[in-house]
A = this chain, B = another copy of it.
Amino acid sequence: MALTALRWREDRLELLDQRLLPAQSRWLTCHSADDVAGAIRDMAVRGAPAIGISAAYGVVLAARALGAAATAATLTPALDTLAASRPTAVNLFWALARMQRIAATQQGATLIQALTNEALAIHDEDRRMNHRLAAFGLPLLPEGGRIYTHCNTGALATGGHGTALGVLRSAWTAGRIRGVIAGETRPWMQGSRLTSWELMQEGVPVTLVTDNSAGHLMQRGEVQAVIVGADRITANGDTANKIGTYGLAVLARHHGIPFYVAAPLSTIDPALPDGSSIVIEERDASEVRQIQGTPIAPAEVPVQNPAFDVTPAALITAIITEHGVIHAPDTANMAAYLAN
């Protein structure tokens, strides 16, 4: 049975609480859109695709609470609350827009059923899409290589299988790569807590390192490619992703190592011309001052804690989607791809 972090139970959404992994596997139950928005904001669920899917189910929960009164208008507060939960990942807004389109033409019980079907479709499409994406990404990876990844882009971050980690999973199963190096990904430790846990569960060889080790390993020839996910990709291919991604892209370029971004088409936001207009979420100082509640710095030390950074398209070897590969992404290549 494939690993999953999202379970839809008709009247509730169950989320594998990613704040507690790997120490505890505890499921959090969301009964309302507010519950879902809170789970997204507090990172019980994270990963751009998983956030989008959860938000879609959140809209269903709001509609169910409204019952016969459910309409596009009465759903607006719930849609707003969900949209405000996190600012950077575009899949959230994309999923909510899909739900909103459904709401525009129906109401009451019919609407609830239609929204449920749409959320289930978003969830199911994501799972299938990740497998298609992995098939496109697999042949790009250097044979017998050790591949470096950042953050968590696996089953826990998506509807299942994963984006960048889905490529790595498929590549390992196909015997193409030698193993995965997971950067721990401070401050939230998605690499140590989630990625290494996911890969160990499936027997994929993984080595955990501090984010500080990436340059050293590349310098020693121990990394053959880097692959990461994305939270938002602009019209020119600039990519917002977990803080630290940009530094990895600069290091990969310096060492002549390919740098891949794996993300579903829904991550591309053609309304933004380039990365300069992406809102970068600044998260709480406590994420840097403490780890899992343990203080590691003076309590009052000033902190900057950007959660994402933007990698210019020029540093990206290719963007891998469920519909194919965009090599050397720039405005022209992106537009040509999106036109198909």
Q: Which residues of A contact B (CB under 8 A)?
A: 22-23, 181, 184-187, 189, 192-193, 196-197, 200, 205-217, 219, 242-244, 246-247, 250-251, 254, 280, 288-289, 291-298, 300-306, 309-310
Chain B contacts for A296, CB-based, 8 A: 184, 189, 192-193, 291-292
Chain B residue, CB-CB nearest to A217: B304
Instruction: Say yes or no: B306 contacts A213, CB within 8 Å.
Output: yes
CA distance A237 to B300 in the complex (A): 38
Chain B contacts for A196, CB-based, 8 A: 297-298, 301
Chain B contacts for A189, CB-based, 8 A: 296-297
The residue from B209, B216, B243, B302 contacting A206, defined by CB atoms under 8 A apart: B302
The residue from B200, B206, B211, B302 contacting A211, defined by CB atoms under 8 A apart: B211
Instruction: Say yes or no: A294 contacts B291, CB within 8 Å.
Output: yes
CB proximity of A234 to chain B, nearest CB, Å: 15
Q: Could you give 7 example pairs across A and B, Cβ below 8 Å?
A: A184-B297, A193-B297, A211-B244, A213-B243, A215-B250, A250-B250, A292-B296
CB proximity of A124 to chain B, nearest CB, Å: 30
CA distance A292 to B206 in the complex (A): 23
Beyond A193-B297, A210-B288, A212-B242: 10 further Cβ-contacts under 8 Å? A186-B210, A205-B302, A209-B305, A211-B211, A212-B243, A213-B244, A216-B280, A247-B251, A292-B296, A294-B294
Chain B contacts for A214, CB-based, 8 A: 247
Instruction: Say yes or no: B288 contacts A291, CB within 8 Å.
Output: no
CA distance A301 to B22 in the complex (A): 11
CA distance A58 to B294 in the complex (A): 34
CB proximity of A236 to chain B, nearest CB, Å: 16
Chain B contacts for A210, CB-based, 8 A: 186-187, 211, 243-244, 288, 305
CB proximity of A296 to chain B, nearest CB, Å: 5
Chain B contacts for A244, CB-based, 8 A: 210-213, 215
The residue from B208, B212, B251 contacting A303, defined by CB atoms under 8 A apart: B208
